[in-house]
Structure 1
Amino acid sequence: MAYSKYLLIATAIAAVIGIGNANAYMVTDSTANQGGQSFLADATHDGFNSAGAITATFSYSGPLSFSNTAAQNSSNAGDLNSNFFNGGSISGYSGSGSLGTPAGADFSTLTTFLASSGSASGFQYGSFITIDLGTLAAGTILTITHDDGASVYQGSTRIGTTTADPTSAVTETVELTSAGDTTLYYARENGTPSVLDVNVPEPASLAIIAAGLAGLGAVRRRRAALAG
């Protein structure tokens, strides 16, 4: 009975600190005409701003594991966001505006956003995605598979190095050197394929609670042995 009580307390603590929301992320998606220039996945790169980007912001719940291998865009038909994000996993959507030829991206509604924002061949247009991974502990190791480019930041500091503009998917690891709010930047451009797969470990608090429960179990077994 006592152990059950401690388990309920630990479960309540987990709910309060938000463990159940470990896979909820805030996402900003900006799309722009690239004007023939490559967009680096870097917090300091302003290529999208000069191109008159349109932006959608939303919260996304689900695994950060996306890929698109459909034929690349060369007209006003988008093909990428519908593969990257599922409408049922997006909430709190806010965005507006449309982007003319050659992109044809329309962020007026969630439906048009999902249908129209893609990446065209020849650097005609692309999207720059910002994903807030939340507060992660020092020592956290992120495993990132990406094509066309990714980087990790805490504040204005870039953590680790990643390959810029790979022509095929690469897998890299980034180890966080300090605790803090962590942001992933991803650039998708120049047609398909576009790939982003990020392994975000569970919060350190999970390990703490698991260790605590293991300790309670050991105490219970010891008391039972003494009583016997």
Structure 2
Amino acid sequence: MSKQKECGAAPVILKYLNDQNRPYSAQDVFGNLQREHGFGKTAAVKALEQLTQDGKIKEKVYGKQKIYFTDQSQFAAVGEADLKTLDIQLSGLSEKFQNVQQSCRQMEAELKELNNAMTTEEMSLEIAALKQECASHQERLKKIKSATNHVAPEDKDKVYNERKLFVKEWRKRKRMAADLTDAVLEGYPKSRKQFFEEIGIETDEDHMVTVPDL
């Protein structure tokens, strides 16, 4: 670190401590200022020690750590009324900060929603695709309406009623077969599967068939 940078660190640090008016360690001062001003920790420590010797700042030792803060004698005394005024100002600024923070959160939420929404180009493509799909469905509907081989309502009802009748009969016969099989198996020494294999019975399950719902 050059002597020029070491000398230049002192006024920067003094102004920072006066502006902030709160205690800092040498590490805090270095960490808060080094990126903007480019001096190293050694320069910060030397500048703090020199400012302390010159009486421009104060120093307190806590164990192995030193804390530096600005000389409070340079500031005018603050009375009770001034403190109350500052409290009122602080309360107002805190409320304003909370309102601004809430507005920021709302705007961030709106921005996120807008970022997730489709762009104008994407919406145009989506509308074009939907129009094409709609035209296709309209053409299909037109062909259906113009067809002459429609199924009459009474024919459709007849088919549904016959299906219902056949399903009921299917269920009835399946249940009767199960009852008869259970009765035979009461005195049969082998398993149900072996019994079916011996007499050649094939079940719906063997062919992965399920009785449909009514």
Judge same fold: TM > 0.5, yes or no.
Answer: no
Give TM-score, length-normalised by structure 1: 0.21
Larger radius of gyration: 2
Larger RCO, structures 1/2 (Cα 8 Å, 6+ apart): 1
The structure where strand makes up a greater share of residues is 1
The structure where helix makes up a greater share of residues is 2
Give TM-score, length-normalised by structure 2: 0.22
